[in-house]
Amino acid sequence: MSQKQWIAGINAVASALEHDAEHVREVLLEAGAKNPRIAEIESRARRLDIDVRRVATQALDGVVGGMRHQGAVARYAAAKTWGENELEGLIEAAEGRALVLVLDGVQDPHNLGACLRSAAAAGVTAVVFPKDKAVQVNATVRKTSAGAADTIPVIPVTNLARTMRDLQQLGVWLHGLAGDAEASLYSLDLRGNVALVLGGEADGLRRLTRENCDSLVRIPMPGGTNVESLNVSVAAGVTLFEAVRQRSTP
């Protein structure tokens, strides 16, 4: 993430103030806006002693460069980040019920944001993805995630294959989604320490990523298509909430 950036949208700004206020440097709000949530944002920012300005809509349009802002924009000096060295502690703290989402090369920031939103709703332990050849958490991701980027551990890693092996050493089973797999997602036991591994939009799982999975499974599709044809965020939602279903069943 760049050293300074703007985030836009009521949900994104409200979440930043709630979860990561120390990095919010300024809030710009639409002059004359009647939305009560904008008034709440203004009140919270002032309580936190963060600079707030009411400006014309045209000024907000110019700041965010065409992004939909809903009358609320915030300037970040930095963003909350998690380091690779914190993953082990997160797994141990889950006490045998870790649920990790591993994303191998997602390129579209809207897809990453939607994946983070599903991950937050599913109560994941962490989301892991490579630092290279993949989109990182930027302003678009933060907006699309509707605050999820601030509420769950998101961990970019230098070497994804090595991190996957580290997860296995910590007792985490790695299950990759692949359209050519024979086993069904619904045949898995997802109640213990589990990582669900999904590939990027274009090529799916890379070779090394596949080789480091403990199993490969597919999402059954009576319509005759395969997992690669599903949007990655849809596939993430399906797999994560199958884990949630199993973990919620006595």
List residues forming the annotated binding site for S-adenosyl-L-methionine.
199, 219, 230
Residues 74 and 66: their CA atoms lie apart, in Å, by 15
Residues 250 and 58: their CA atoms lie apart, in Å, by 55
**Amino acid at site 158:** T
* Tokens, residue 135: 């989109």
**Which residues are known binding-site members?**
199, 219, 230
Residue 40: its H or E element:
helix 36-47
* Tokens, residue 153: 């551990």
The CA–CA distances, whole Å, from 158 to 61, 83, 130, 195 equal: 36, 10, 6, 18
